[in-house]
Structure formats: structure tokens, C-alpha cells
């Protein structure tokens, strides 16, 4: 079991998409790097975000990638953050139907629990397009009860960002999806409280 002090070997895998990877951040780290660097628990954080990944992509790859990294430590955590790509339209249809995304999330949390790893889910941020924002908000509202049913903390960032004029302006000025450094700092601020409490729980083992 990890030490109650800040000396434990805490290992965390962060799975998701381009927002997890930090695409658009001039410092090449995004919100995951910002939170890891600021954490007093000094976790080893493996950023495993891949651009354009949907929940289905994460589902296909996450187990082998996590197993290779979450061993020989004192506390293990898995962070999931996806959904924007699921809600993208391809030929007029969602890349991943909402009910499928929700089912994938439930399966991921079941497997994480069975492995004895602490899970945290950070909901999807919002892009610039208003119709896409509405789809992300609906998915966020569907993801929250899944996490509640599994006793897993869920951080809703979409509703705050949808009302954040600076976030929306920065995303619109970029590629329409990703913010720059200021936007990622804003995203990190929204996640910080939940992330800090979660890392403390991971450290306790």
C-alpha cells in the first residue's frame, strides 16, 4: 500500500483523444501535464491520448497499454477522457452513437474496478460549432450517471466551457476544436479539484 505521505510510487495512465494529448498547446502538454506538474503527490503520469480517438478506439487499446505501465508501484490510477470525436458527424451520422459510448464507458469502469485500479472520468470539452456543442452536452449528461452508478468521480467540463467566452473564442481562432495554452490552463483549472482528490485516493492504495 502507498505511503500516506507524498513519497509513494503513484502511477497513472491518461487515456483519451487530442485534448488529453494537448494538441494546440505551445508547451506540448495540455491540461494533463499542467495537473501532473502541480500535484504535490508527484505521480508518474503516462499521457496516452491519441488524436481523433473515439471511445471505441480507447476500448480497443487501453488494457494492454495500462497493464504494461501499472505495475511495480504503490498506487495505480486510470483516467479516461473522450467523447468529442464520438459526437463528430461522419456522412451525417455520429461516429459513435451515444448509447454505444455510454456502454463502452460502463465496460471500462467495470474492468478498471476488477483490476483494483482507481478510475477518474473527465467529460469531453466543447468545440466551436454550436450544434456540436449541444451533442457534447447531451453526451456529458449521459456519462455522469454511469460514473455515479460505478462510484467513480466524474468531472463535467463541458457545461462550464460552453458558457466560457474566452474558451470559445480561443478554439474558434484556432482549428475550431482545440485551444491554445490559455485554454488548456482553463481546462486544467476545471479538473484540478477532482484530479487532486483522486490522486490522493490513488496514493492511499
3-state SS, residue 200? helix
Distances (CA, A) of 123 to 7, 103, 105: 30, 15, 11
Per-residue pLDDT of 152-183, as tens digits, reads: 999 999 999 999 999 999 999 999 999 999 99
Q: For domain 10-204, give the CATH number.
A: 3.40.50.1110
Domain ranges across the chain: 10-204
Per-residue pLDDT of 179-197, as tens digits, reads: 999 999 999 999 999 999 9
Q: Which residue has the higher pLDDT, 4 or 147?
A: 147
Which residues lie below 8 Å from residue 96, measured CB to CB, with a gap of 6+? 54, 55, 56, 85, 86, 87, 104
What's the average model confidence in pLDDT over 19-25? Answer: 98
From the list 126, 59, 48, 33, the residue with the least C-alpha distance to 88 is: 126
Q: Which three cell numbers mark 120?
A: 477518474
What's the average model confidence in pLDDT over 24-36? Answer: 95
The pTM of this model reads 0.95
Cα 22 to chain centroid distance, Å, stands at: 11
Kindly indicate the confidence band of residue 7, based on its pLDDT and cuts at 50, 70 and 90.
low
Q: For residue 8, what pLDDT is reported?
A: 84
Amino acid at each position: 500500500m502507498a505511503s500516506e505521505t507524498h513519497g509513494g510510487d503513484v502511477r497513472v495512465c491518461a487515456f483519451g483523444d487530442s485534448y488529453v494529448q494537448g494538441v494546440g498547446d505551445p508547451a506540448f502538454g495540455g491540461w494533463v501535464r499542467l495537473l501532473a506538474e502541480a500535484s504535490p503527490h508527484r505521480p508518474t503520469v503516462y499521457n496516452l491520448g491519441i488524436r481523433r480517438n473515439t471511445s471505441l478506439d480507447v476500448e480497443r487499446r487501453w488494457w494492454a497499454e495500462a497493464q504494461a505501465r501499472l505495475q511495480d508501484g504503490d498506487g495505480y490510477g486510470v483516467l479516461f477522457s473522450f467523447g468529442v470525436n464520438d459526437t463528430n458527424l461522419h456522412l451525417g451520422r455520429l461516429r459513435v452513437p451515444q448509447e454505444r459510448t455510454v456502454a463502452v464507458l460502463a465496460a471500462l469502469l467495470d474492468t478498471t474496478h476488477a483490476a483494483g485500479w482507481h478510475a477518474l472520468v473527465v467529460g469531453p470539452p466543447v468545440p466551436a460549432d454550436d450544434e456540436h456543442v449541444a451533442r457534447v452536452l447531451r453526451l456529458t449528461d449521459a456519462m455522469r450517471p454511469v460514473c455515479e452508478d460505478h462510484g467513480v468521480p466524474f468531472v463535467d467540463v463541458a457545461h462550464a466551457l460552453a458558457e466560457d467566452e474566452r474558451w470559445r473564442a480561443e478554439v474558434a481562432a484556432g482549428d475550431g476544436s482545440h485551444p491554445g495554452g490559455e485554454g488548456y490552463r482553463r481546462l486544467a483549472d476545471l479538473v484540478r479539484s477532482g484530479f487532486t482528490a483522486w490522486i490522493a485516493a490513488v496514493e492511499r492504495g
